[in-house]
Amino acid sequence: MNYKIINKTKYYRGGVFRHFSEDCKCSVSMTSRIDVTTLHEFSKCTGTKFYINFLYILAKVMNSREDYRMGYLWQTKELICFDKINPTQYIFHEDTETCSPVYTEYFEDYQLFYDACAKDIEKAKQTRNYGLDMENHPDWFDASYISWCSYDSLNVELPDGHLYFQPIVNWGKYRSENGCLMMPVSVRMNHAIADGYLIAKVFYLLEKEIESFAQIK
């Protein structure tokens, strides 16, 4: 695990950080539908999994700027920025109606990530253990697919005052709207290190990366 310590006196969001980490501890959640038409077409044409392709793009976006890689060391009250964050995904077991978390390391190399992710998923299908280990995985963010519906809103609640800075991202089924495939994506971040602009930008970056991904591959 590699990270750098952020100097709070020089942090560009220093005033906001102080207010929302001391006076008014809260988080911000936002849901928006993004266009995944080209990603669906790419996945179909290449015989690859849409789910893994989107997870790769999501992890790439979450690593694209420091604001999404922030962390908090409660023992020393230090604000940090991880060099890299990785997706904790979840595999659903139909027989037990439970999920198992899967730790998949993010690699910028698409094929390397794709192959590793596919292996992680197959391995997770063989277990029914919950096995969430946040203590030993502080530089991982939550990435969960809600496959049963194409929802309009979703809100993830954490205990009041809990300074958990890693993003929590959910997404649901895509649906056809005016000839496009639109997919709901929800992003939760702590208000001390993110506001509406930074969360809204996640959706913009996702669509931008989807277009670039489908054209280059």
Q: Which residues contact 145 (CB under 8 A, 6 or more apart)?
A: 51, 89, 90, 170, 171, 172
pLDDT, residue 216, reads 57
Looking at the predicted structure, is the pLDDT value of residue 1 above 80? no
Instruction: Name the pairing type of β-strands 140-146 and 168-172.
Output: parallel
Please state, in angstroms and rounded to a whole number, the distance separating the CA atoms of residues 29 and 184: 13
pLDDT, residue 214, reads 84
Three-class DSSP labels, 85-112: CEEEEEEEECCCCEEEEEECCCCCCHHH
The pTM score is 0.95
Domains and CATH numbers, the chain: 3-216 (3.30.559.10)
Q: Are 192 and 16 in contact (CB under 8 A)?
A: yes
Residue 126 CB neighbours (<10 A): 8
| CA-to-CA separations, 206 to 83, 87, 188, 197, in angstroms, rounded | 20, 15, 15, 14
pLDDT, residue 132, reads 80
Q: What is the signed CA dihedral for 110, 116, 118, 119, rounded to 10 degrees?
A: 170
Q: What letter represents residue 195's amino acid? A: D
Q: Are 13 and 189 in contact (CB under 8 A)?
A: no
Looking at the predicted structure, is the pLDDT value of residue 206 above 60? yes
Share of the chain above pLDDT 90, in %: 86
Please state, in angstroms and rounded to a whole number, the distance separating the CA atoms of residues 81 and 185: 24
